[in-house]
Amino acid sequence: MDPEFDLVMQLTECSMSAFLIPFMLVISLFLHTGYATASSHGSRGDAAIAEAMKTNHDTMVHATDIVTLKKQIAKLETRYGLIQQTVKKRRVAFNNLEAEVRAADLSLKGMEKPMRDARTHYEKVQKLSLEYPEISTEKERKIYFEAKKRVTQKTAGQVKALQVLRDRLTLGYESLETALKAMDRTRSEIDQIRAQLHEANGVIRPVRD
């Protein structure tokens, strides 16, 4: 075994241990809470999003009663506010998770450095051996494959954890996009009913002499 390689791996292990504690806490947090907050607001926000996404604008009943229209607008504005707050929370959660992915990826690359360095040196010697056949690449080949084996074994857990984070980042992105679409749809509904209200007001407004 290469003593220098052992030292590098020990240092990277210490660095990774310091990273893993907050990293796994974040994983636990997201696994238990997800992007839908466990609070009553989170449940109401999710319900508002679901309601907005299932609304079919083409089959909406167009009311002409001013009182009914105003009630519909008030209900939609309440829904819009809930969705807006949910969007803010999901965006914060997504940004935080995105930062965790970058940190985990950077840490993993640091642990993989001995393997990359060994591979780079091996490739250089290989190129030289093409010009000078008397140069042997056996030593560099063994060093590289030994480094690859050790790094792969030591980073297996980090690779899996990083993939979990990336999967949750994808889910977080989809969750945020759904909330944004729901917010847009609700705003569209509000504008549509306001137009109906404006029209209804015009119909019943008395004509002055």
pLDDT digits (tens, 9 = 90+) for 45-100: 888 888 888 765 544 545 568 888 999 999 999 999 999 999 999 999 999 999 99
Instruction: Quote the pTM value.
Output: 0.66
Among candidates 120, 97, 108, which has minimal Cα distance to 156?
A: 108
Confidence of residue 32 (pLDDT cuts 50, 70, 90): very low
Residue 36: exposure state from Cβ atoms within 10 A (0-12, 13-18, ≥19): middle
Q: How far is CA 176 from CA 73, 83, 118, 170, in A?
A: 24, 11, 42, 10
> Tens digit of pLDDT for each residue in 145-173?
999 999 999 999 999 999 999 999 999 99
Distance CA 33, CA 28 (A): 8
